[in-house]
DNA sequence: TGAGCTTACTGGTCAGGCCAGTCATAGCGG
DNA sequence: CCGCTATGACTGGCCTGACCAGTAAGCTCA
């Protein structure tokens, strides 16, 4: 068949890439588990039959991908790291900076993710998960006096709990990433503006409403409240003429 | 204030990282635009005051991040690449393989993204965008005889058009990434299974229904149909006892 | 037994070199 | 005059060997 005779573009594979692939696959396969150590650079040199600079290039790439970490003088060699979405966050942040993704799109995306997570949580949550959410909200209430630092942490914990109850770690990770990206863009403005007991109390109330909807198993309401809450919270950072898509999400279930 | 006196953990910054940062920021700032060239390695050595292995480590990291590309013998030096979500895809794929994200979660996420995109598109689409979608559907219809290869391309094009009309490039990119991850997991099974005119015709009909809902401006219907379509298409790849969360999404707007 | 020193490692960095490839250009033949 | 080819000055890919500043384990000595 002619399909099988098609040729793909080739690109020369560098030595260091082969090394990266081997180590990467060993980690993915589970042959190398987090916490375990790689042989020392000089030992890898003999195992791979490449020179030290080449081995080091591979290690630098793996390190930049968040798979391993080298520490000078460590006699045990580079450490295999547990998975972390940090790499995803980095790429996502890059996407935002590069492709000039607007604040509006970012928040729109958060509304979608958070709304979906709440909706799923409303349908799938167990009793224990519900009580975890209640506890995080209690922490939020206590943290109002402690300042935005503490409050923010509890806020994040609540959203994590919702995402967990929604049975979807992708939403969890993406939401985390997008939240990070949003904060990176408005970090200076937000630090003081949100350090207000009034705002925090309002935010707390919104969270409580979401929790109520989740408890009631009302996915639509949970999603709607989540989205509206986010819109009210962040709309101020979006130019007025770009708020259309956001409002479309707020109205989503009502028309 | 005591907040200001808090110390953060420090980690020794390697030389190559400083180089990566500088080049990275130059790209982000726009000082270096895609297509432009970096100085040669030996020139960078003098500019950064580092040795060639160090400069090369930095270049390898940038290359692995998809920011630049080095070609042997190229007298113009490494090329600045246009942004591509390939890095995101790589990280997302890693997330899937590592954190053992299940097929169910992947598809659940696609249903959310695609549904949201359709819903947004229904509310925000312009007439031109509508006609673009119509054209891609026409291409799909024509491609049924040409085999799944062509059909798949047109399929992707339709979803792209919807995402564009939804005014959210994040959805676009994420959807693309997740679709890639799904295909990577089931590529072998899907190649022949989907190469069936019956399946393609059914898929085409589903797409037409989505388009109708978008044309009518009915966001809810567009989202519901999108999700249902994806569920029917992919449910076979998900173990039965994991389909609960997916069904929760299908029923989402009906209860 | 415990505190301090020695030593054998580790990774970080450098200098310099060889090779194969690419490309522009100079010089050739037409 | 034009087109082709050969040359040479580059490029990146890779290697060798070396030095340094750390770490940590083991040894010595009080």
Nearest alpha carbon to residue B112 among A206, A111, A182: A111
pLDDT of residue A69: 94
B95:A72 CB<8 A: no
A64 falls in which pLDDT band (50, 70, 90)?
very high
Same domain, B33 and B127: no
Instruction: State the Cα–Cα distance between residues B119 and B217, nearest whole angstrom.
Output: 8
In this model, does residue A251 exceed pLDDT 70? no
Burial of A215 (0-12, 13-18, 19+ CB in 10 A): middle
Domain, as residue range, for A70:
9-80
pLDDT of residue A6: 58
Instruction: State the Cα–Cα distance between residues B119 and B220, nearest whole angstrom.
Output: 6
B169:A101 CB<8 A: yes
From chain A, the residues in CB contact with B123 under 8 A are 248
B255 falls in which pLDDT band (50, 70, 90)?
very low
Same domain, B68 and B151: no
Asked if residue B215 belongs to a domain, the reply is yes
Task: Give the 3-state secondary structure of residue A71.
Answer: coil
A159: CATH: 1.20.120.530
> Which residues have C-beta within 8 Å of that of residue A71, sequence separation ≥ 6?
A78, A79
Alpha-carbon distance B244 to nearest alpha carbon in chain A (angstroms):
9
From chain B, the residues in CB contact with A182 under 8 A are none
Q: Which residues touch strand C (CB under 7 A)?
A: A 38, 40-43, 52-53, 56, 59, 70-75, 77-78; B 14-16, 49-54, 71-75
Same domain, B47 and B103: no
A252:B219 CB<8 A: yes
Per the structure, how many domains does chain B have? 2
In this model, does residue A91 exceed pLDDT 80? yes
Percentage of chain B modeled with pLDDT above 90: 24
Of A80, A105, A127, the residue that ends a domain is A80
Q: List protein-proximal bases of chain D (any atom < 7 A from a CB).
A: 10-18, 21-25
In this model, does residue B97 exceed pLDDT 90? no
Same domain, A125 and A205: yes
Asked if residue A4 belongs to a domain, the reply is no
Instruction: State the Cα–Cα distance between residues A91 and B85, nearest whole angstrom.
Output: 8
The end-to-end CA distance of chain A, in Å, is 52
Instruction: State the Cα–Cα distance between residues A50 and A15, nearest whole angstrom.
Output: 8
Burial of B235 (0-12, 13-18, 19+ CB in 10 A): middle
Asked if residue A244 belongs to a domain, the reply is yes
Asked if residue A177 belongs to a domain, the reply is yes
Averaged pLDDT, B146-171: 83
Distance set, CA B155 to CA A80, A87, B117, B149 (Å): 40, 30, 15, 10
Q: Any idea what DSSP says for residue A38?
A: P
Instruction: State the Cα–Cα distance between residues A224 and A253, nearest whole angstrom.
Output: 7
Of B80, B103, B133, the residue that ends a domain is B80
Same domain, B101 and B75: no
Same domain, B219 and B237: yes
Task: Give the 3-state secondary structure of residue A57.
Answer: helix
Same domain, A93 and A159: yes
Same domain, A63 and A179: no
Same domain, A67 and A105: no
pLDDT of residue A49: 94
A105:B167 CB<8 A: yes
A68 falls in which pLDDT band (50, 70, 90)?
very high
B16 falls in which pLDDT band (50, 70, 90)?
very high
pLDDT of residue B1: 47
Q: Kindly tell me the number of DSSP H helices and DSSP E strands found in chain B.
A: 11, 2
Alpha-carbon distance A189 to nearest alpha carbon in chain B (angstroms):
17
Q: How many residues are listed for chain A in this entry?
A: 255
Asked if residue B5 belongs to a domain, the reply is no
In this model, does residue A149 exceed pLDDT 50? yes
Same domain, A200 and A128: yes
Of B36, B59, B80, the residue that ends a domain is B80
User: Which carries the bigger pLDDT value, residue A148 or residue A142?
Assistant: A142
A141 falls in which pLDDT band (50, 70, 90)?
confident
User: Which carries the bigger pLDDT value, residue B28 or residue B7?
Assistant: B28
Instruction: State the Cα–Cα distance between residues B247 and B227, nearest whole angstrom.
Output: 9
In this model, does residue B24 exceed pLDDT 90? yes
Asked if residue A90 belongs to a domain, the reply is yes
User: Which carries the bigger pLDDT value, residue A82 or residue A238?
Assistant: A82
Same domain, B125 and B228: yes
Averaged pLDDT, B127-135: 88
Averaged pLDDT, A126-147: 85
B220:A178 CB<8 A: no
CB pairs A-B closer than 8 Å: 140
**Across chain A, what does the average pLDDT equal?**
84
Quick one: closest CA in A to B119, which residue? A252
A37: CATH: 1.10.10.10
Residue with tokens 């659940």: B108
Instruction: State the Cα–Cα distance between residues A103 and B106, nearest whole angstrom.
Output: 26
Half-sphere exposure of B239 (CA within 13 A, CB side): 5
For chain B, strand residue ranges (E) read 68-69, 79-80
Asked if residue A22 belongs to a domain, the reply is yes
From chain B, the residues in CB contact with A166 under 8 A are 245
How far is it between the farthest Cα atoms of chain B?
A: 71
Alpha-carbon distance B79 to nearest alpha carbon in chain A (angstroms):
15
Give B80's strand partners. B68
Give A37's strand partners. A79
Same domain, A99 and A212: yes
Q: Indicate the range of A45-59, B52-66, B127-141 predicted with least confidence.
A: B127-141
Asked if residue B1 belongs to a domain, the reply is no
Q: Which range has the top average pLDDT, A4-18, A110-124, B92-106?
A: A110-124
Q: How many residues are listed for chain B in this entry?
A: 255
């Amino acid at each position: 068949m002619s399909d099988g005779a098609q040729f793909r573009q080739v690109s020369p594979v560098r030595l260091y890439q082969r090394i990266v692939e081997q180590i990467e696959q060993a980690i993915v396969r589970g042959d190398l588990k987090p916490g375990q150590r790689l042989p020392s650079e000089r030992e890898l040199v003999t195992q791979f039959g490449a020179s030290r600079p080449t081995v080091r290039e591979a290690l630098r790439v793996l390190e930049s991908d968040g798979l391993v970490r080298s520490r000078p003088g460590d006699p045990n060699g580079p450490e295999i790291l547990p998975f972390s979405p940090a790499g995803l966050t980095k790429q996502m942040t890059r996407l935002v900076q590069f492709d000039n993704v607007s604040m509006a799109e970012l928040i729109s995306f958060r509304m979608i993710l958070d709304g979906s997570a709440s909706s799923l949580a409303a349908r799938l949550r167990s009793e224990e998960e519900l009580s975890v959410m209640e506890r995080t909200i209690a922490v939020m209430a206590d943290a109002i006096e402690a300042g935005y630092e503490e409050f923010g942490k509890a806020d994040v914990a609540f959203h994590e709990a919702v995402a967990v109850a929604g049975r979807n770690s992708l939403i969890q990770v993406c939401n985390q990433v997008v939240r990070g990206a949003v904060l990176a863009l408005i970090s200076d403005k937000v630090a003081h503006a949100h350090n207000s007991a009034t705002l925090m109390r309002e935010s707390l109330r919104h969270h409580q409403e979401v929790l109520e909807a989740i408890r009631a198993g009302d996915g639509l309401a949970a999603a709607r409240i989540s989205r509206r809450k986010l819109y009210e919270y962040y709309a101020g950072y979006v130019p007025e003429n770009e708020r259309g898509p956001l409002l479309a999400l707020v109205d989503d279930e009502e028309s």
